[in-house]
């Protein structure tokens, strides 16, 4: 589940009244997601013909992993991408024109944003055609953000992986799996020595997992959860999306048909250069370490009574072992056309 902060009915009505979106008729906490609190909001608003019409939105309350100072970047990016034809939800600005508001809670002031509701569902067993569409949508946002004026450093890049994994400690990692300390040490050394700096970069999503893509059939209707978006290597975003989409969720089984379709879908919109293709296996190892790091940290630090189930770090250790095998590294980029 992901509703970390309770909001009473009157409190919720007061929040919605700050936006020109009609009167609140229902607010339901959304179980999916792990980072922020989300509610499905329904309102009724007078239409131009005087008839009441129903409207839907997502209300997000930003919790500890999102810095309030980063919100203008994330929320302006949503508006920019939507204006450039990408399947992304717009931010509803409040009656004073602000994209987010602060709300007093027992745990201190937290930021809130009201986001356009998009139709669609997140797939759990993607087909190759769905993976192709997702690859294309990822490339579309890379291109659509080209003239977005703001930038944001990736706060979950290599130094953050090193810090999170150091905070876990060797003992902590070995309590998750006896081999994990050794694997992490090997990978961090390799990534620090070989991470590429000179590949094409721009705004990336950085967390395009199936639960962050809404689909109807084979069509992508919405890319959501841009709250890790940042300026980094485009090919790293391809690697993150590859790691997220092309394996069984426990990471034990790689699906070559999904891999080929995802990469072909991406390259049909934004071809990967030879240098980007060559870097993909290493970037995919980095992507696997990035999710291993946050998951291992949460695994060891989430209180037992917390209302959220930590995700399994080993699912990304298994992906890491796949990408680290030179035989797999050679074959998984097959199907990419320059």
Interface residue list for ligand ADP (CB under 6 A):
2, 30, 32-36, 38, 58, 89, 115-118, 122, 211-212, 222, 224-225, 227
Q: Does 295 bind ligand LJ64HWYM (CB under 6 A)?
A: yes
Q: Judged by CB under 6 A, which stretch of 56-64, 101-109, 172-180, 204-212 contacts ligand LJ64HWYM?
A: 204-212
CA distance 84 to 78: 10
Using the minimum distance from each CB to ligand ADP, give the nearer residue, 214 or 280. Answer: 214
Q: Using CB positions, name the residue nearest to ligand ADP.
A: 33
Q: What is the rounded CA–CA span in Å between residue 119 and residue 131?
A: 18
Binding mask 26-45 toward ligand LJ64HWYM (x if CB under 6 A, else -) reads -------xxx----------
If contact means CB under 5 to 8 A according to the sort of partner, which of ligand LJ64HWYM, ligand ADP, none does residue 291 touch?
Answer: ligand LJ64HWYM
Picking from 137, 14, 142, 153, the residue whose alpha carbon sits closest to that of residue 73 is 153
Secondary structure in 3-state letters for 295-318: HHHHHHHCCCCCCCCCCCCHHHHH
Residue 145 interacts with, from ligand ADP, ligand LJ64HWYM, none (CB under 5-8 Å by kind): none
Least distance between ligand LJ64HWYM and beta carbon 304 (Å): 20
Q: Which is nearer to ligand LJ64HWYM, 258 or 267 (CB)?
A: 258
Stretch of 99-107, 152-160, 183-191, 208-216 contacting ligand LJ64HWYM, by CB under 6 A: 208-216
Q: Classify 225 in phi/psi space as left (phi over 0), alpha (psi -120 to 50) or beta.
A: left
- Whether 315 and 242 have beta carbons less than 8 Å apart is answered as no
State the alpha helices, DSSP H only, in 195-313.
234-245, 256-269, 274-301
Q: 254, 247 in Cβ contact below 8 A?
A: yes
118 binds, among ligand LJ64HWYM, ligand ADP, none (CB under 5 to 8 A by kind): ligand ADP
Of the pair 87, 251, the CB lying nearest ligand LJ64HWYM is at 251
The C-alpha atoms of residue 248 and residue 51 are separated, in whole angstroms, by 48
Neighbours of 147 (CB within 10 A): 9
Contacts of 334 (CB under 8 A, 6+ apart): 260
Nearer to ligand ADP, 57 or 266 (CB): 57
User: What H or E segment, with its residue span, contains residue 216?
Assistant: strand 213-216
- Least distance in angstroms from the C-beta of 30 to ligand ADP: 4
Quote the DSSP letter at residue 254: B
If the CB atoms of residues 21 and 319 are measured against ligand LJ64HWYM, the closer one turns out to be 319
Nearest distance from residue 306's CB to ligand LJ64HWYM, in Å? 14
3-state secondary structure at position 113: strand
Q: What gap in Å lies between CA 229 and CA 155, rounded to an integer?
A: 10
| Site of interaction with ligand LJ64HWYM (CB under 6 A) | 33-35, 207, 209, 211-212, 225, 291, 294-295, 311
């Amino acid at each position: 589940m992901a509703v970390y902060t309770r909001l009473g009915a009157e409190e919720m009505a007061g929040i919605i009244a700050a936006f020109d979106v009609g009167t609140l008729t229902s607010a339901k906490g959304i179980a999916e997601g792990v980072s922020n609190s989300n509610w499905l909001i329904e309102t009724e608003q007078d239409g131009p013909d005087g008839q009441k019409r129903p409207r839907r939105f997502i209300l997000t309350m930003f919790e500890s992993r999102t810095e309030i100072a980063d919100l203008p970047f994330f929320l302006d990016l949503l508006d920019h991408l939507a204006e450039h034809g990408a399947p992304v939800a717009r931010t509803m600005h409040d009656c004073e024109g602000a994209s987010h508001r602060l709300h007093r809670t027992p745990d201190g002031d937290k930021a809130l944003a009201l986001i356009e509701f998009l139709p669609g569902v997140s797939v759990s067993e993607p087909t190759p055609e769905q993976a192709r569409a997702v690859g294309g949508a990822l490339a579309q946002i890379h291109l659509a953000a080209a003239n977005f004026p703001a930038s944001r450093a990736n706060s979950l890049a290599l130094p953050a992986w090193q810090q999170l994994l150091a905070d876990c400690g060797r003992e902590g990692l070995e309590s998750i799996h006896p081999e994990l300390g050794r694997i992490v040490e090997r990978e961090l050394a390799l990534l620090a020595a070989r991470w590429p700096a000179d590949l094409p970069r721009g705004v990336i999503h950085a967390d395009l997992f199936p639960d962050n893509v809404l689909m109807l059939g084979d069509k992508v209707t919405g890319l959501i959860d841009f709250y890790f978006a940042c300026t980094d290597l485009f090919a790293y975003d391809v690697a993150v999306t590859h790691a997220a989409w092309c394996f069984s969720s426990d990471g034990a089984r790689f699906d070559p048909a999904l891999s080929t379709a995802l990469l072909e879908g991406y390259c049909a919109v934004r071809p990967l250069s030879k240098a980007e293709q060559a870097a993909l296996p290493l970037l995919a190892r980095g992507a696997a370490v990035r999710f291993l790091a946050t998951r291992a940290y949460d695994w060891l630090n989430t209180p037992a009574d917390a209302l959220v189930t930590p995700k399994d770090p080993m699912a990304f250790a298994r992906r890491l072992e796949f990408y680290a095998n030179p035989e797999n590294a050679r074959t998984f980029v097959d199907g990419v056309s320059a």
